[in-house]
Structure 1
Amino acid sequence: MQHLMASDCRLYSYPPEKIYEVLSDIPGYAKWWPWGVRVKKIEQSLDRIGDKIEVWASGGWFRCSVNDLRPNERVEIVYYAGVVLGETYWTITPQEDGSTRVCYTIDVELNGLLPKLMGVVIDFSAIHSFQFKRVLACLDNYLRRTN
């Protein structure tokens, strides 16, 4: 099995509650994810657990769902269809200096013959981390605009 594994973090000058509100609303990712990434809401609930989206990005498409929430601390997401399958999570950690550290950790299996073949010669983990820096920057811009 070939895996895509990465953990990418950034410090933000916003309280955990504000960041959690944005990260736990996956249908809302369409408001702040980078240009060129399409996010389509599939299902949305009142408590956000089970919310589902479909994402089209440069590496293909996938569907994911909120699996569990720990308010102001963690958002667990499962990828259940598309080019990757497995679990991911956001962690939100207040820092002593008043900032908040946000990390996105992913450990998923490449799904499908073509992704698996390409994974033999392409380091998808490094590509994911490179692209995810844009996602983290877009989160910062969105938090700044909505503050």
Structure 2
Amino acid sequence: TVFIVDDDSAVLKGLRLLMESVRLNVEIYLSAQEFLDSYDQTRPGCLVLDIRMPGISGLELQEKLRQKNISIPVIIMTGYGEIAMAVEAMKKGAMMFVEKPFSDQVLLDQIQKAIASKSSLQSHSPDSIIRRVPWA
């Protein structure tokens, strides 16, 4: 299951359609708190979350999961890409950091890697930070 947390309902709708188009199970949440309240850690999958949200941010959610010893692969997405945030997200166990807008295929590839991974709380190289460059 791909668990997606973002406060933008349009982003959630688009990502839900993308996941369903490749036959991935998906659950969407408008807030980190909503995810925390309903997440069953016995269910395998990965977490795709926005870094900037009202209430609990993506980084704070990562920390709360760590404190509860919940190990789930995390992919951070944001429209506010900053290297400092990427470094912090990676230190907290994120597998990848993507800036919106991003390539559907890049995200799908990373989700497949995340679902296949056995551990989400490990160090990841800076090479796994993906940034969309306007002229690329």
Q: TM-score, normalised by structure 1?
A: 0.27
Give the strand-richer structure, 1 or 2. Answer: 1
The structure with higher relative contact order (CA 8 Å, sep 6+) is: 1
Q: TM-score, normalised by structure 2?
A: 0.28
